[in-house]
């Protein structure tokens, strides 16, 4: 049995002899690289918190002292030390989540992978413990990977500082990065705090030199005192935190377990809110991660553990890559195009635009709300901002989309990567809400490209609109095979036409975005049963083309297939349009149930929801058959 395998719970970590901690840390790093290389996951962030996590569990009593990770992708080591060491199915169906999970362990309090939230949870938990008389318990929030750039974190700090005797320990895991180098004034502030260690070393050297100097007198010591004060004022800006009413400890070497443990004990025993500033290195101990220029192996697919080389699939073109290329082309054509990212320059595909047009690229940190309203200001100033963001993170700036961008009718384009079922990262990352929440925004226009050619075309159409916000949404992973149009109805593409196959107009199937391939296969399966299906891609699903209503009136049944929650999305919009036009054709909507989906592969999740061509063809055949039988009964003479 390895030392790591003997760690079943935090008590085992506490009992471990101090001199064996480096051995445990080495085993954890070896385990991380070996296991995550097979499954993919967040390698760099967890390599950077090994000693810190060990120290946390040696000082605090989880779960009585809740430990909250922000963001949650830093929790792999925490999982190992709380009895979860089977990483064979990490981020796969039936395996461990890549984030904290309340279903997995009592040691996981929050399932957060949306950043900058842990301090607010900590504030509430500390208040609850105070009200319940649990004054000897602490709440620990580990915030890092750029999460302190989010505005919500500072709202929480403002309240935590009022806590007085509430025991909130805020561990700032400062590795200077989120996915890539952390941007903004706060990052510069933390960078200046790192100079404190250099200051202490310089002061010690000055004292040592002075003690060896034969000329010793009060003036020299006065000068030294003045030097000390001047340097301290210049390079110890922790005063900012202390002015908020927060005790500050640090900065400390987060890879020195004993130093970290000592600092955490001081913080625990202080009796009020404390910030412990830990300096760590993302990817620590694994050379390929340490030397990776982009993100220190922040989040990877499977890779070769020896070399760090990704196990890439040759010839696969991803949606993000198509967007990236088209943005660079648009930037060359239009000097008013501006790129904005919320700490995800590389994951969203804006890096190439940033390298080509650095003066027109802004990384605002993990601050989606600010991104949307800042973009509104840019638009008011004559630019056309393109905000690249994961679909799930658009939820965080809905008010700004509504009341800032849309209310002021500004031309801003939101490009939503990872839309629909994303799978591996679980409930927080599925982009299944945007088609619903955006329906209520007046004036907003929304496109859903089905393939690479449509993404390029619809992005260009979007940035040509200057009097309303526009949105494009596209999924994670490889681009779907191109599905050419066989005709057009208004601005919509016809992908299959029942009359062309010599079949009756039984079913109008509205396929949204990448569901086009599924829709066409459904039509082909039903055609084999003698049922005529016309498949339409509306391209722009908000507003819907008026021609859709006229087209729908000719069919027995209308169905909508979309990769979004069923409530309030495109299916509901189509049904509402038909009702408003007094078109009495039944509408069936097929999409994601309104529930949080567990992690798993996309195709497995879609199959579980019945969104496969086989399942859809069967259900729609039954619907059309019932409708046909009902019509036949109505046509029979009375009596």
Distance in angstroms (rounded) separating the CA atoms of residues 634 and 624: 15
> Cβ neighbours of residue 124 under 8 Å, at least 6 residues apart?
none
Distance in angstroms (rounded) separating the CA atoms of residues 121 and 364: 24
* Of 29, 84, 396, 445, catalytic: 396
Which H, E and C letters describe 467-509, residue by residue? CCCEEEECCCCECCCCCCCCEEECCEEEEECCHHHCCCCCEEE
Asked if residue 221 belongs to a known ligand binding site, the reply is: no
Asked if residue 114 belongs to a known ligand binding site, the reply is: yes
CA 548 to chain CA mean position, Å = 35
Using DSSP's 3-state secondary structure scheme, residue 384 falls into: strand
Measured CA angle at 241 (ends 237, 243), to 5 deg: 95
* Of 166, 167, 268, 282, catalytic: 282
268 a catalytic residue: no
Rounded to whole angstroms, what are the CA distances from 129 to 65, 160, 204?
Answer: 10, 14, 43
Asked if residue 99 belongs to a known ligand binding site, the reply is: no
Asked if residue 368 belongs to a known ligand binding site, the reply is: yes
- Under 8 Å between Cβ of 431 and 420: yes
Asked if residue 286 belongs to a known ligand binding site, the reply is: yes
Which residue in 444, 375, 429, 452 sits closest to 596, CA to CA? 429
368 a catalytic residue: yes
Which residue in 604, 630, 609 sits closest to 619, CA to CA? 609
Q: Which residue has the tokens 């009592």?
A: 106
Asked if residue 146 belongs to a known ligand binding site, the reply is: yes
Query: What does DSSP assign to residue 526?
Result: H
Show the beta-strand stretches assigned E in 497-613.
Answer: 507-511, 533-537, 540-542, 557-565, 587-592
Measured CA angle at 302 (ends 298, 303), to 5 deg: 85
- Under 8 Å between Cβ of 281 and 255: yes
Distance in angstroms (rounded) separating the CA atoms of residues 450 and 435: 15
- Under 8 Å between Cβ of 389 and 342: yes
- Under 8 Å between Cβ of 125 and 139: yes
Asked if residue 147 belongs to a known ligand binding site, the reply is: yes
333 a catalytic residue: no
Asked if residue 346 belongs to a known ligand binding site, the reply is: no
Asked if residue 248 belongs to a known ligand binding site, the reply is: no
Please compute Rg for the chain using Cα positions. 29
* Of 111, 368, 458, 562, catalytic: 368
Asked if residue 188 belongs to a known ligand binding site, the reply is: no
Binding residues are 73, 113-115, 145-147, 175, 286, 368
Known binding site for Mg(2+): residues? 145, 175
Q: Which residues are catalytic?
A: 282, 368, 396
Residue set of the binding site for thiamine diphosphate:
73, 113-115, 146-147, 175, 286, 368
């Amino acid at each position: 049995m390895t030392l790591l395998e003997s760690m079943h719970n935090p008590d085992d970590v506490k009992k471990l002899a101090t001199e064996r901690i480096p051995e445990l840390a080495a085993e954890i790093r070896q385990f991380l690289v070996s296991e995550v290389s097979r499954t993919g996951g967040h390698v760099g962030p967890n390599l950077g918190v090994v000693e810190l996590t060990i120290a946390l569990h040696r000082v605090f009593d989880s779960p009585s002292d809740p430990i909250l990770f922000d963001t949650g992708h830093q929790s792999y080591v925490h999982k190992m030390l709380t009895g979860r060491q089977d990483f064979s199915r990490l981020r796969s169906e039936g395996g461990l989540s890549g984030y904290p999970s309340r279903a997995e362990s009592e040691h996981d309090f929050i399932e957060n992978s949306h950043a900058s939230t842990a301090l607010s949870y900590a504030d509430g938990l500390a208040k609850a413990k105070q009200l319940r008389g649990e004054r000897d318990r602490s709440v620990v929030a580990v915030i890092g990977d750029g999460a302190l750039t989010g505005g919500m974190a500072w709202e929480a700090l403002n309240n935590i500082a009022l806590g007085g005797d509430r025991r909130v320990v805020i561990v700032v895991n400062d590795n200077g990065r989120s996915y890539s180098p952390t941007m903004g004034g706060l990052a510069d502030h933390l960078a200046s705090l790192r100079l404190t260690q250099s200051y202490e070393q310089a002061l010690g050297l000055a004292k040592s030199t002075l003690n060896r100097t034969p000329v010793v007198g009060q003036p020299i010591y006065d000068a030294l005192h003045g030097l000390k004060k001047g340097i301290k004022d210049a390079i110890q800006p922790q005063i900012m935190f202390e002015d908020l009413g927060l005790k500050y400890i640090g900065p400390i070497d987060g890879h020195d377990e004993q130093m970290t443990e000592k600092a955490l004990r001081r913080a625990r025993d202080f009796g009020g809110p404390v910030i412990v500033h830990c300096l760590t290195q993302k990817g620590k101990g694994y050379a390929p991660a340490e030397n990776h220029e982009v993100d220190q192996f922040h989040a990877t697919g499977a890779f070769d553990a020896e070399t760090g080389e990704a196990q890439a699939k040759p010839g696969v073109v991803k949606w993000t890559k198509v967007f990236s290329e088209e943005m660079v082309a648009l930037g060359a054509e239009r000097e008013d195009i501006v790129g904005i990212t919320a700490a995800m320059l590389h994951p969203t595909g804006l890096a190439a635009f940033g390298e080509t047009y650095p003066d027109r690229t802004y990384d605002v940190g993990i601050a989606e709300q600010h991104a949307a309203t800042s973009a509104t200001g840019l638009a008011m100033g004559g630019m056309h901002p393109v905000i690249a963001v994961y679909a799930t993170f658009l939820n965080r700036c809905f008010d700004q989309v509504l009341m800032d961008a849309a209310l002021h009718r500004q031309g801003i384009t939101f490009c939503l990567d990872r839309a629909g079922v994303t799978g591996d990262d679980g409930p927080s990352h599925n982009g299944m809400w945007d088609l619903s929440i955006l329906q209520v925004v007046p004036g907003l226009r929304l496109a859903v490209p089905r393939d690479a050619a449509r993404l390029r075309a619809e992005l260009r159409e979007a940035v040509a609109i200057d009097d309303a916000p526009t949105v494009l949404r596209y999924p994670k992973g490889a681009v779907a095979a191109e599905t050419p149009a066989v005709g057009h109805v208004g601005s919509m593409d016809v992908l299959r036409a029942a009359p062309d196959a010599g079949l009756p107009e039984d079913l109008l199937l509205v396929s949204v975005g990448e569901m086009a391939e599924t829709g066409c296969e459904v039509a082909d399966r039903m055609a084999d049963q003698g049922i005529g299906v016309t498949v339409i891609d509306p391209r722009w699903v908000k507003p819907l083309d008026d021609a859709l209503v006229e087209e729908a009136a000719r069919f027995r049944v209308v169905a909508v297939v979309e990769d979004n929650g069923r409530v309030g999305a495109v299916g509901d919009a189509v049904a509402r349009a038909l009702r408003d036009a007094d078109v009495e054709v039944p509408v069936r909507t097929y999409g994601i149930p309104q529930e949080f989906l567990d992690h798993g592969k996309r195709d497995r999740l879609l199959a579980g929801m019945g969104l496969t061509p086989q399942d859809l063809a069967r259900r729609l055949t039954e619907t059309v058959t019932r409708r046909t039988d009902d019509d036949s009964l109505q046509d029979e003479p009375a009596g």
